Structure 1
Amino acid sequence: MKKILIIDDSALMRRVMSDIINTDSEMCVTDTAENGVAAVELLKQGKEYELILLDINMPRMDGLSFLKYLNEKEIHIPVLVVSSLASKSTEETIQALELGAYDFAKKPSRTLGNEEDFPKQLLAKAKCAFTIQQAKPVKKKEKKQVADSRPVKNQTDGGKTTKRVQTCEFAVIASSTGGPKALKSVVPKLPKTFSCPLVIVQHMPTGFTASLAKRLDEMSACKVLETEDGMEAEAGKVYVAKGGYQLRMEKDNRGKMVFSVKKEPVRNGLRPCADVFLESLLDAPYQHILCTVLTGMGNDATHGLEQLKEKKEIYVIGQSERTCVVYGMPFALEKAGLSDEILDLEQIADVMFKRMR
């Protein structure tokens, strides 16, 4: 039985979440706390938990301060943030993911009509905690080693490829669970200018991708934007796929390549979905494409890349297992024989830029 701690200043939400979690035979809410201070006291008493459900906005010690406490004390317990869609809350949720929370669930809102979805969402994301690994930075002395000893098409040594580097015309990053924190280790390392557009398809709902784009923009030399329908894809800019919508590339009436951002059906439970976006590149005028697949559950991006590999010159980078929070999406690529390089997270930005000059 997995022991769960719920931290929320609302007695109603503590009760609602407890009732939902306790419907699962593998999980049990053993304690609740009304703020971070009360939760710290429980930890000081020696209480042990396999998962913490954490609210952000609380008196005395808020969720961000509590996450900082866990980091300072090197307490490695998976944390799932349960957040509202208020503008400030979405920005703080992104910060919480940077501080180590592995994912977040949206609190129910009658205005969004998602009360019925909340129990299913909460249980699914809570169970994910028991499959994740605490990804740790690679030590400096390890950085010159091959990131993964399993064979790939173009094995690397410290990010040095074995064949001539081809400059790409378009770049894509696909990511899911653990992605926001991983993106923080990639996008801010890119220079102010580079030779192609870079699109990030991060699995996130409506409202949160704007905050993710804003946060990455603040941290980066290059410009980071959330995609809008009809927006032109420009070289040297980073675009975050809008949450709750499917993203495609299409040619407008001027012959320019622009983003199509539409409320299309979900694909495999995802919107945005990397497969949908990658498939839209099949008829785009880009012949040399770079795709990086970061941490995440499932196999999104694999199907789209299988199709692109048949028609285009595609170079695929997968994040290494030891630096992933969830080694799902990169593993699916490797299993399908699509990975050209497997790299530790710290190496990815440099190798990407070599192909984006």
Structure 2
Amino acid sequence: MSARSPRTVVVDDSRFMRGLIADILESGGVEVVGEAGDGREALSVVADTDPDVVTMDVEMPEMDGIEAVERLMADHPTPTLMLSAYTAEGAEETFAALDAGAVDFFAKPGGEVSMGVSRMEEQLVETVRSVAEADISTTGRSRRTEAAAAATTAAGSAPRGRSTTAIEPNTTLVIGSSTGGPDAVERVVSALPGDADLRGVVVQHMPEAFTGRFAERLDAACDLSVVEAEDGMRLGKGELAVARGGHHLEIGSARNGRLRLKVFDEERGQGVRPSVNVAMESAADVVDDPLIGVVLTGMGADGSDGVQALAQAGGRVLAQDEETSVVYGMPKRAAETGCVDTVLPLDDIAGGITGETV
């Protein structure tokens, strides 16, 4: 994190919300250098002030947040945090903004104009500071498309889902991520072969209204079957489950190549829910077959306890490298434990899972 306070432009069509967000950020030590009431005005304000980070509402007149992010990334690339409604519709729009190049999102509780934001001051300030430090060269669908094309060329244009024998039978996979994670997870799972003998879970820090849509996006992007986790669900070969937002996910048992999941909302002292630590530690406790843990981009230290548990259980641990991480927080803390076997660029992670990348 830089020594000085990040400089921020706040974009929202509600004057009340602009003032509320600006007050919260400034009270947390973030300098607000400009405000805008719609996407078109935001482009002008950003060009004039050259901020470190932009907070961008999704629903606005004249030019909405999605188009504004597209234009911003083309004309004046700036790390952008989307502020979206805590709804399924808000999730759809937010993922479109992430595709356009936004770094992360913050779901406003209680609707578009909400005093609920003030109850989450610390989290909002922390997220803005994290996004201000993000490497935006790794974000957006265009980057995913370029990476996929390069991977296909490097593999001799081999089709997705090609057969592989590198993965050991009955392998369990646990992937954890946070800031920048939706894009990173998609790039990893879309590169995994559809007939691989693995099953597992994805733990992405994300609100409950968003995780179902995230699972659908992953399912459409890859040859594995991906669903949102439900309590008591069983997973077999070729199946992944995304942890439900606002709930912890544990692997309750592992028998005959199938995992049984536990989904619950009790406090576990992790500071985040779902927690990568909770999922990884449960896998270490109950899985006797081959076990692989992966820690991708994200702020904070979630996963650092989990990778230690996996290593002690004989599992293999991979972490994303600093250069390709949007925020090198979680992978760094995982690597500092000494329990990470391999640190890899994002587009080599899938090969690390299958054993094709050493």
Using the size of structure 1 for normalisation, the TM-score is 0.84
Deviation at 1:168, TM superposition (A): 5.6
Match of 1:346 in 2: 347
Alpha-carbon distance in 1 for matches of 2:74, 2:129: 26
Q: Is the 8 A contact 1:178 1:296 kept in 2?
A: yes
Alignment of 1:1-357 (within 5 A): 1-24=5-28, 26-44=29-47, 46-73=48-75, 75-109=76-110, 114-136=116-138, 166=168, 169-251=171-253, 257-311=259-313, 313-354=314-355
Gaps of 5+ in 1: 145-163
Alpha-carbon distance in 1 for matches of 2:254, 2:327: 38
Alpha-carbon distance in 1 for matches of 2:188, 2:330: 17
Deviation at 1:256, TM superposition (A): 6.2
Which structure carries more helix by proportion?
A: 2
Using the size of structure 2 for normalisation, the TM-score is 0.83
Alpha-carbon distance in 1 for matches of 2:192, 2:254: 29
**Matched letter for residue 200 of structure 1:** V
Q: Does the residue aligned with 1:321 lie in a helix, a strand or coil?
A: coil
Alpha-carbon distance in 2 for matches of 1:100, 1:64: 9
Which shows bigger deviation, 78-87 or 252-261?
Answer: 252-261
Alpha-carbon distance in 1 for matches of 2:232, 2:110: 30
Aligned length: 330
Which shows bigger deviation, 260-269 or 94-103?
Answer: 94-103
CA distance 1:88–1:322, change in 2 (3 Å): same
**Matched letter for residue 285 of structure 2:** D
CA distance 1:175–1:256, change in 2 (3 Å): closer
Q: Is the 8 A contact 2:174 2:279 kept in 1?
A: no
CA distance 1:69–1:307, change in 2 (3 Å): same
Deviations 1:146-174 (A, max 9, x none): xxxxxxxxxxxxxxxxxx87556201111
User: What is the identity percentage for the equivalent residue pairs of Structure 1 and Structure 2?
Assistant: 32
Deviations 1:297-346 (A, max 9, x none): 222222122123223x3111110110001111211222111121111111
Q: Does the residue aligned with 1:249 lie in a helix, a strand or coil?
A: strand
Q: Is the 8 A contact 1:107 1:118 kept in 2?
A: no
Which shows bigger deviation, 28-37 or 170-179?
Answer: 28-37
Deviation at 1:134, TM superposition (A): 3.4
**Aligned-residue RMSD, C-alpha:** 2.9
The higher relative CO (CA closer than 8 Å, separation ≥ 6) is in 1
